[in-house]
Amino acid sequence: MKKIIYATVFCLSIVSCDVLKTVATDVLAIPTTEEAAGGLKDALKQGFANGADALSVAGAFKNNNLIKILLPEDAQKVADKLRSIGMGAQVDDVINKLNDGAENAVKTAKPIFMDAVTQMSFNDAMGILTGGKGSATNYLKQTTTTALTAAFRPKIQASLDQIGVTKHWTELVSTYNKIPFVTKMNPDLNAHVTEKALVALFSRVEQEENLIRDNPAQRGTELMKKAFAYADTRKNTQ
């Protein structure tokens, strides 16, 4: 009888330990709101850093047809007319300089993006963390695009001025506007380049975010590892 009792107690002890261990592991695996927010911020900082670095190298925009910045639709009328009078090389030079300007601006704007991420407050961090691919980038896009655009435009303008786009474009538009019977115009290249550069950067950030979600080896900090490991467990139960 004693042997049976001892065996029963021993078995119950094993079960209890295993249950307690499982419960403890589950509790420890769930990040606090602060940890979740910290992990997301680390991921976005990493994504911005990698994205900005990749898009600020020479040729990053103009050599990639997926993100190459062309003239805005209204300006295309100017370009077509100028090409028809033998000024195609000058038009191509402006397009190349638009892309050079985007590369320079992304590099210059990197600290602005990083600071914006640092200042973010994720009240719904757990929802974003477990929201699936692109959810953190989408949240950031929705909540910061207006402010980032306001900060980005002067950087774009400075870059365009520095490499001569403004001067080249002014000369081309002046030539175009002297052509008889054309409707005079001067499209806002700054707004156009800013929009396209932001779209390209957010797209690259989303790629980086998804790499972090898909591959634990991409999680560069302890907060990222804890936060996204928990997201992995939630993904497997959804």
Question: What's the domain count of the chain?
Answer: 2
Q: How confident is the model at residue 194 (pLDDT cuts 50, 70, 90)?
A: very high
Question: How far is the C-alpha of 157 from the C-alpha of 165, rounded, in Å?
Answer: 9
Which residue type is seen at 22?
A: T
In which domain, by residue range, is 26 found?
1-30
**What confidence category does residue 238 fall into, taking pLDDT thresholds of 50, 70 and 90?**
low
Same domain, 153 and 221: yes
**Top-confidence residue, 125 or 44:** 44
95 Cβ neighbours under 8 A, 6+ residues apart:
62, 69, 70, 71
Considering the domain architecture, whether residues 8 and 80 belong to the same structural domain is answered as: no
Q: What's the pLDDT tens digit per position in 184-193?
A: 887 788 999 9
- Residues 133 and 17 both lie in one domain: no
Whether residue 8 is found in the same domain as residue 53: no
Same domain, 48 and 156: yes
Rg (CA), the chain: 27
Lowest-pLDDT range of 8-12, 56-60, 74-78, 195-199 = 8-12
Band of pLDDT at residue 25, cut at 50, 70 and 90: very low
Q: Are residues 20 and 131 in the same domain?
A: no
Taking only the tens place, the pLDDT of each residue in 135-185 is: 988 888 888 888 888 888 888 888 888 878 888 888 888 888 899 988 888
By the 8 A CB rule, do 113 and 148 touch?
Answer: yes
Burial class (CB in 10 A: 0-12, 13-18, 19+), 210: middle
pTM above 0.85, yes or no: no
Do 52 and 10 share a structural domain? no
